[in-house]
Structure formats: structure tokens, C-alpha cells
């Protein structure tokens, strides 16, 4: 049963609702064996000057350690980290991964890839997560991940290994050790778009601080990216499109710097460039990009406020369905599906309990 839908916004719009400066709530770390730990054990430090030009991004491919994608973690890590943070701001809003917010925000300019998410209300918040199976089809996430682990995807992780400070020097100069995708440092922030409070968790690549310094806060965080050297008009167009995703992703979490390493087809790092997240939209506009931030912010607000309006009233704690349950027993939650179709918009479908 479809309960609501939203078309994409027109291109001429009034000023968008404000996005509140994100405030760090807590951090947690996935260790090399994927175990969770509160705090900054997996926080990496940006190498002064960044990755060295000439670094071979194919190095270490055979030795990589991959996270077990068969384990479905949902929002578990973030909820675990928030278990002792019962902020009142958390109520009445949306809790999710930053990656989900990025997808919603960039949807007005996404003309190829659709997506589906699941939403439910519990204890005063809407929880939103990725949904991988689409209409009985194969899990697109798994397929994507296998393909991603081709050399191309690996080079992004290798760039992280070169751009951060090694714990022990082995391998080529600047290499900080075997790529292990179990290891993640996650920051949970609170913010709001217009009047909708949000709590988002996201992976942060590294911080700019002296090695061993305690967590310097969001202002010192850096997002690392790799890109092929931009040496043609076509490559330039592709890069301008990618800048939308880079901007949205870092803007949402309050990461002020995006460090892009430019590599050759053969995986050799040629140069790097630091972009200020805040000025990426102007830079992209000057470069002739077709995207603008305003429709993104309008759409994020429209979708999140639709979720709050439609999903929050089904909260079993609010409806009384949670009454009389034993501690630890989960009340029946009402599930919703949020689906995006490129060039059309999103629809919210009630799946029932």
C-alpha cells in the first residue's frame, strides 16, 4: 500500500531549509577482527603532506583482508554506540547511516541508479537503513561489492594506506600496512535539516593531527578519495558529477576537507588535491557542473519530513503496542519501504508489521 510519494523538485526553488552544523555525539571503532570498541582505536592520522606521488596503488592487492559481507550489520554499530546517549534531540527525527542521507540528497541529480531503503519507528525516532534485495532480484549490494573488489576498488583503500601515517614501516615508502576493510572509525553526529532532527553515523578516513594526539574533533577530519587523472573533457564531466557525491557525503557529517588522489590507469599516484567541502559547489559550478546544492537540501528535507509525518505515528511505543512487553522483548514494528526511481522521485510504501 503506497502511503505517500514525492516527485522530484522543480529546478527553481526558494532558499532551502538550513542544515545545522553537525555536532559530534560519539565515536566508535571496528577493530581488525571487526569487533566493536567505543572510541578512537581505529582513528588514522593524515600523513603530513599526504600520500607520496609515485605511490603504487596496486601494491598489496593479493594480501588484502576483506570484511565478511555476508554478515548483515544493519544499524547495529551505531545503535550500540548510542546505547548510553539518550539525547532528547534524538526524538522526533531520523537515525541513519550518512550513506543513506547522501543517496537521498543526491537523488534529484541521479539519473541511473534507483535504490530502496527500509524505515521503522521505535522509541520516538525513525530508523532508516539500506535495503538490498529489490523485487526478488539478486542483492545488488553483494554483486556490487564483488565487482568493487576488483583492482579499481582496491586502489581507493590503498590510497588510504598511503595517505595515513604508518604504525610500522614496511612495504613501499609511505605504506601504512595491509588493507583490512574490517577496520573502520565511525563518527556519530547530530544535526537537523529545517525542523527535522537527524542523527547520522559515518566512516571517517583520518584526521589532521600530530600522531598519537587525542581525537581533534570534526573540524580536523579528512575524507580520502581517488580519481583517475582528469585529462579530457569526458573525464572532467565525470569528475564534476563525482564532486556532487563527495560534497554531499562530507557536508552531511561535517567533514571540512576532501583529499583526492589522482592516479594513472596503471594505478600510479600522480598528484593530490585538497578540496574544501564548503566551496565544492562553487568550484563545480564554475567548472560547468549541472548540479546545485539547493535541490538536494530541499529534497532531503521533503523526504525526511515525509518519513517523520508518516512513519513516526506507527511507533509501537506511541501506539501502545509495546505495552506489557518483557524487558528485551521487541514490540512488533511497522515497516515501510522508501523507493527511489531515477528521474521520477520517491514513494513510501507501507509493508505492515
Quick one: 189 or 312, whose CB is closer to ligand 0WD?
A: 189
Q: What whole-number distance in Å separates Cα of residue 9 and Cα of residue 219?
A: 32
Give 115's strand partners.
Answer: 340
**Selected binder of Ca ion within 81, 224, 258, 280 (CB under 5 A):** 224
To ligand 0WD, the closest distance from the beta carbon of 103 in angstroms equals 8
All cell numbers assigned to 20: 545545522
Sheet bearing 2-7, strands edge to edge: 2-7, 345-352, 335-341, 115-122, 125-131, 94-97, 196-203, 184-193, 23-30, 36-38
Per DSSP, the residues of 36-99 read: EEESSTT--BBPTT-SPTT-BTTTTGGG-B---TTS--TTHHHHHHHTT---GGGTTSEEEEHH
* 166-205 footprint of Ca ion as x/- string (CB under 5 A): ---------------------------------------x
Backbone Cα Rg of the chain: 21
Contact partners, residue 74, CB within 8 Å, separation at least 6: 129
User: How many angstroms separate the Cα of 72 from the Cα of each of 76, 89, 111, 237?
Assistant: 9, 28, 28, 35
Residue 256's binding partner out of Ca ion, ligand 0WD, none, with CB under 5 to 8 Å set by partner kind: none
Q: Which stretch binds ligand 0WD (CB under 6 A): 85-93, 98-106, 232-240, 263-271?
A: 98-106
Binding residues for ligand 0WD, rule CB under 6 A, total 15
Question: In a 10 Å sphere around its CB, with 0-12 CB exposed, 13-18 middle and 19+ buried, how is residue 168 labelled?
Answer: exposed
Give 121's strand partners.
Answer: 126
* 104-143 footprint of ligand 0WD as x/- string (CB under 6 A): --------------------------x-------------
To Ca ion, the closest distance from the beta carbon of 206 in angstroms equals 9
Q: Which stretch binds ligand 0WD (CB under 6 A): 19-27, 96-104, 118-126, 260-268?
A: 96-104
**Selected binder of ligand 0WD within 73, 89, 236, 347 (CB under 6 A):** 73
To ligand 0WD, the closest distance from the beta carbon of 225 in angstroms equals 6
Dihedral-angle region of residue 22 (phi above 0 means left; psi in -120 to 50 means alpha; beta otherwise):
beta
**Selected binder of ligand 0WD within 39, 99, 123, 342 (CB under 6 A):** 99
Quick one: 77 or 316, whose CB is closer to ligand 0WD?
A: 77
To ligand 0WD, the closest distance from the beta carbon of 88 in angstroms equals 24
- Using CB under 6 A as the binding rule, whether residue 184 contacts ligand 0WD is answered as yes
**Selected binder of ligand 0WD within 59, 97, 154, 251 (CB under 6 A):** 97
- Using CB under 6 A as the binding rule, whether residue 263 contacts ligand 0WD is answered as no
Which residues form the interface with Ca ion (CB under 5 A)?
A: 205, 224
Amino acid at each position: 500500500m503506497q502511503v505517500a510519494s514525492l516527485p522530484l523538485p522543480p529546478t527553481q526553488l526558494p532558499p532551502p531549509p538550513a542544515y545545522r552544523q553537525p555536532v559530534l555525539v560519539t565515536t566508535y571503532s571496528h577493530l581488525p577482527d571487526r569487533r566493536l570498541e567505543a572510541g578512537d582505536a581505529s582513528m588514522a592520522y593524515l600523513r603530513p603532506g599526504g600520500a607520496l606521488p609515485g605511490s603504487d596503488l596496486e601494491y598489496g592487492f593479493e594480501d588484502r583482508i576483506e570484511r565478511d559481507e555476508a554478515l548483515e550489520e544493519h544499524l547495529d554499530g551505531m545503535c550500540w554506540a548510542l546505547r548510553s546517549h539518550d539525547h532528547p534531540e534524538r526524538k522526533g527525527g531520523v537515525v541513519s547511516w550518512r550513506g543513506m542521507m547522501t543517496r537521498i540528497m543526491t537523488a534529484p541529480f541521479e539519473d541511473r541508479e534507483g535504490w530502496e531503503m527500509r524505515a521503522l519507528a521505535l522509541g520516538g525516532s525513525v530508523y532508516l537503513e539500506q535495503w538490498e534485495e529489490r523485487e526478488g532480484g539478486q542483492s545488488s549490494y553483494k554483486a556490487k561489492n564483488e565487482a568493487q573488489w576488483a583492482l579499481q576498488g582496491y586502489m581507493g583503500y590503498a590510497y588510504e594506506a598511503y595517505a595515513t601515517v604508518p604504525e610500522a614501516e614496511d612495504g613501499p615508502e609511505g605504506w601504512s600496512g595491509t588493507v583490512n576493510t574490517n577496520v573502520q572509525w565511525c563518527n556519530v553526529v547530530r544535526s537537523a535539516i529545517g525542523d527535522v532532527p537527524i542523527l547520522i553515523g559515518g566512516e571517517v578516513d583520518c584526521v589532521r593531527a600530530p600522531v598519537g594526539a587525542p581525537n581533534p574533533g570534526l573540524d580536523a577530519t579528512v575524507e580520502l578519495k581517488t580519481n583517475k587523472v582528469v585529462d579530457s573533457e569526458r573525464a572532467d564531466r565525470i569528475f564534476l558529477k563525482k564532486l556532487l557525491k563527495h560534497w554531499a557525503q562530507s557536508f552531511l557529517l561535517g567533514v571540512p576537507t576532501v583529499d583526492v588522489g589522482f592516479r594513472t590507469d596503471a594505478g600510479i599516484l600522480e598528484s593530490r588535491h585538497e578540496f574544501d567541502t564548503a566551496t565544492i559547489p562553487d568550484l563545480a559550478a564554475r567548472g560547468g557542473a549541472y548540479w546545485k546544492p539547493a535541490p538536494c537540501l530541499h529534497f532531503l528535507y521533503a523526504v525526511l519530513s515525509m518519513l517523520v509525518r508518516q512513519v513516526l505515528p506507527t511507533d509501537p511505543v506511541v501506539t501502545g503496542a509495546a505495552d506489557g512487553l518483557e524487558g528485551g522483548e521487541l514490540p512488533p514494528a511497522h515497516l515501510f519501504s522508501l523507493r527511489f526511481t531515477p528521474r521520477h522521485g520517491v514513494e513510501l510504501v507501507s509493508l505492515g508489521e
